[in-house]
Chain A
Amino acid sequence: MKVLATYSIKGGVGKTAAAVNLAYLAASEGFHTLLWDLDPQGAASFNFRIKPKVKGGLRSVLLCKRQLDEVIKETDFLGLDLIPSDFSYRNLDLKLYDARKPDKQFRSLIEPLAQEYDFLFLDCAPSISLVSENVFRAADLLLVPLIPTPLSMRSYDQLLRYFRKSPVNHLALLPFVSMIDIRKRLHKETLNSIFYDRKNVMRAMIPYASQVELMTVRQAPLCSYDKHSVPALAFARLWEEIKTHL
């Protein structure tokens, strides 16, 4: 099982949009895929019409009272399952502190799923915290959306500094350009410098498009109902490129 996390320190950059569509694309190719909505706001769960609620809350899962397997919900899409978000996730950090090896909790939690699933996507809440440290240790790939603005790039540099200080073995960082609007001069200029400086940024870019916003109305992955739209094709290209890094 490969673990892919969508992550950024900054909020509202397209993490959830990417996680939802990429997970859908993986499943539609026949890979048994699980998406874990780690954001207490439950945006990913909402996109699949699944109630953001875990029976017994987070406690019961972390204390291993319930196997993670028992809280999984099948989505409407063949081969794609989801672990819903829960409001109690907002205290996830505190709960992890209580655990014995606080930064390796996730790894052991997801281990039993490795037989069953080919891909696990983690959709994270923005911030850098004990939760994200757990995610870094559990993930094979970290997908980081970058909006081509100086502010977004600054928080990416922050992340790079963090990894320089406390490196995580085996974790590959895959940044990609998200919500780009080529009519904006700022985006264009920042984009040039991104590709000039940072070689590992992925080729595929997700454009700013109203269809992505409308996903929250349809409550389904864009790639499932409008797969020929420009942003859906962009997600498909992104997925193809990600697979070359696995």
Chain B
Amino acid sequence: MNTLIFDIPRNQSVKATESLFRQHFHLRKQVDRVTTRTYLDTFDWRVFKSGGVLEAESDKTGIWLTWRSLGADQVYGRYPVTRIPRFVSDLKVTGFRKRLEKVLGVRAMVPIVNVQSRSHVFTVLNLQAKTVLRIEIQSDRAPYQSGGKSRIRRKAMLGSRIHVFPMKGYEKTVDNACTVLQEKCHLIPAVTDPVLTALAAIGCEPGIVSQKPTVADPVQRTDTTAKYIFRHLLETMVQNENGVRQEIDSEFLHDFRVAVRRTRSLLVQMNNVLSRQRISGFSREFSWLGKVTGPSRDMDVYLLSFDSFKLLLPKEMRKDLMPLQEFLGRHRVTEYQRLIRVLDSERYRVLKRNWKRFLGLPPPKRLSLQNAGRPIIDVASEKIWHVYRKAINQGNLILPEAPATSLHQLRKTCKKLRYLIEFFQDLYKKNKVSRLINSLKVLQNNLGEYQDLVVQQITIKKFIHAMEEETGLTDNTRNAMEMLVFRLEQRNLRVRMEFAERFSEFSSPANHKLYRQIFTTQKKPYGGTR
């Protein structure tokens, strides 16, 4: 379908356009209103990237949240709200919310730009006096950014347009109206969505967040390549710091921590590439950073899982779990305060400064380290193959009665493997590598869920004690929490039983062949040792 937005040319007046249109349609004027349109998106532009636009339109009478396609040819949903929502969970449980949740996940909707607009609303009625079409003539002011200190509200107008809102079951009218608007009213179908015009006016380019580093040159020196990846990870950390501080949503801390973990994981692999002494210093500091940011993340995770915890309990017990949520919320506050002190600390600042300086140093001319000057593809293949073999060996030793710790070890190895493959995936054939990643993911999901359930049982038991000491605990709440532990344990057993099958898929001959093919048969222009 074509766009339903038509720009009124600058040299044509709004009044004239309206009267031209009136010659062909019986318009009924509804209201004139002044609205503020606030466009919303997540920090990583999930709405935009899915080809959508999310706008909250407020005027004196209320606020409407509209989710439509970019280019405005489709409206996915329009929904009255009492205030601009931050999370999907602020909305009522409806089909609209479920669909939106698929796009946004747990990320917050952040205002990206505000536009004040004056609009005239008209309806077209049929012979039964039933509305068959809505039309809005909108004239936008220059936009301003929310939250910014200087709200530039210039008088300048951004231009006027007619927005046609079709009604289901009356498609013919829409087609007619669009034809009339173009042919009789001399309007131009909008080429640029209003949200893009507004963003351009404040100098914001949508969709820009740091992408995954691409390592595409197979013969680049390994030390140079590693530093390039490290720089990227550092950038990701810095980019997410602000969102952590402002507590916009839980993904900022998550992404921050993933970048820290990836850094640590790659550091370990670089012992013959970068100075051993420097590496061990940085490893220690990043490990500290991972550890001190952990408790805040734990609180986030338990709060996010709270609803699914509730669902594990019988209906009548669910309300007894509420004190746990309150406990988590309280502790989250204190953990985040502690976390922000970490981000403000000298130790963190020094780490960042030294790390950045180290990454900026030019590569040494004289190579004393064995792997530093080798082509990245050789070293990467070697490392991946090595970690893969380690995972296979560890997994083979896991018998049905093996303790949780051995599964945990395997989980860590798999994570290492995953990071390595992802860092260097662009060096290899895309379809083959994504097959590997997918089969690895299946195993990782099983191991991840298993480990999470193990930890959750222990942690919830700890919470029982902590809550007892802090505020006291009613019998009902204790029962509910003990029941929760029991249910988690049952799930844990089920997940544990699935392991053997998941692992046998991962260690299948076909998969093994693929690993061997990709990571052991590369050309060795510099004669690597294998």
Contact = CB atoms under 8 A, between A and B. Distances in A.
Contact of A1 (B81, B95, B130): B95
B91, B94, B130, B169 interface centre (most CB from chain A within 10 Å)? B169
B80 A50 contact: no
Nearest to B167: A74
30 contacts: A28-B80, A29-B92, A30-B80, A30-B81, A30-B91, A30-B92, A30-B94, A30-B96, A31-B92, A31-B94, A32-B94, A32-B95, A32-B96, A49-B128, A49-B129, A50-B130, A72-B168, A72-B169, A73-B167, A73-B168, A73-B169, A74-B169, A74-B170, A76-B130, A79-B79, A81-B169, A115-B95, A116-B95, A117-B95, A118-B94
A48 interface: yes
B435 to A, nearest CB: 32
Interface in A28-43: 28-32
Nearest to A28: B80
A21 B482 CA distance: 46
A30 B79 contact: yes
- Kindly list the 5 A-B residue pairs having the minimum CB-CB distance in the complex, ordered from nearest: A73-B169, A49-B130, A74-B168, A74-B167, A49-B128
A32 B77 contact: yes
Place the interface of chain A in its size category.
Answer: 20 to 34
B319 interface: no
A1, A72, A74 interface centre (most CB from chain B within 10 Å)? A74
B58 to A, nearest CB: 15
A168 interface: no
Interface in A194-227: 219
Contacts of A31: 92, 94
A73 B79 contact: no
Interface string A8-47: 0000000000000000000011111000000000000000
A78 B80 contact: yes
A81 B131 contact: no
A72 B81 CA distance: 25
Contacts of B167: 73-74
Interface in A43-75: 48-51, 71-74
A29, A49, A51, A115 interface centre (most CB from chain B within 10 Å)? A49
Contacts of A73: 167-170
Interface in B161-203: 167-170
Interface of B: 77-81, 91-92, 94-96, 128-131, 167-170
A30 to B, nearest CB: 5
Nearest to B99: A115
A180 B51 CA distance: 53
Contacts of A72: 168-169
A1 B96 CA distance: 12
Contacts of A117: 95
Contact of B95 (A28, A51, A71, A118): A118
A32 to B, nearest CB: 6
Nearest to B169: A73
Contacts of B169: 71-74, 81
A74 to B, nearest CB: 4
A106 B167 CA distance: 25
A30, A73, A219 interface centre (most CB from chain B within 10 Å)? A30
Interface of A: 1, 28-32, 48-51, 71-74, 76, 78-79, 81, 115-118, 219
A223 to B, nearest CB: 15
Given A49-B129, A50-B128, 8 more contacts: A1-B95, A28-B80, A32-B96, A72-B169, A73-B168, A73-B169, A74-B168, A115-B95
Nearest to A69: B168
A1 B80 CA distance: 19
A76 B131 contact: yes
A75 to B, nearest CB: 8
Contacts of B129: 49, 219
A29, A50, A76, A78 interface centre (most CB from chain B within 10 Å)? A76
Contacts of B168: 72-74, 81
Nearest to A73: B169
Contacts of A50: 128, 130
Contacts of B77: 32
Nearest to A114: B95
A126 B77 CA distance: 34
A50 B168 CA distance: 12
A31 B92 CA distance: 8
B413 to A, nearest CB: 41
B65 to A, nearest CB: 9
A48 B130 contact: yes
Contacts of A115: 95
B39 to A, nearest CB: 20
A219 B96 CA distance: 28
B496 to A, nearest CB: 35
A123 to B, nearest CB: 18
Contacts of A30: 79-81, 91-92, 94, 96
A72 B128 CA distance: 17
A227 to B, nearest CB: 14
A117 B129 CA distance: 26
A191 B130 CA distance: 40
Nearest to B98: A115
Contacts of A78: 78, 80
Contacts of B130: 48-50, 76
B448 to A, nearest CB: 30
A68 to B, nearest CB: 12
B62 to A, nearest CB: 11
A61 to B, nearest CB: 14
Nearest to A118: B94
Contacts of B91: 30
B81, B91, B95, B170 interface centre (most CB from chain A within 10 Å)? B95
Contacts of B131: 76
Nearest to A113: B95
Nearest to A81: B168
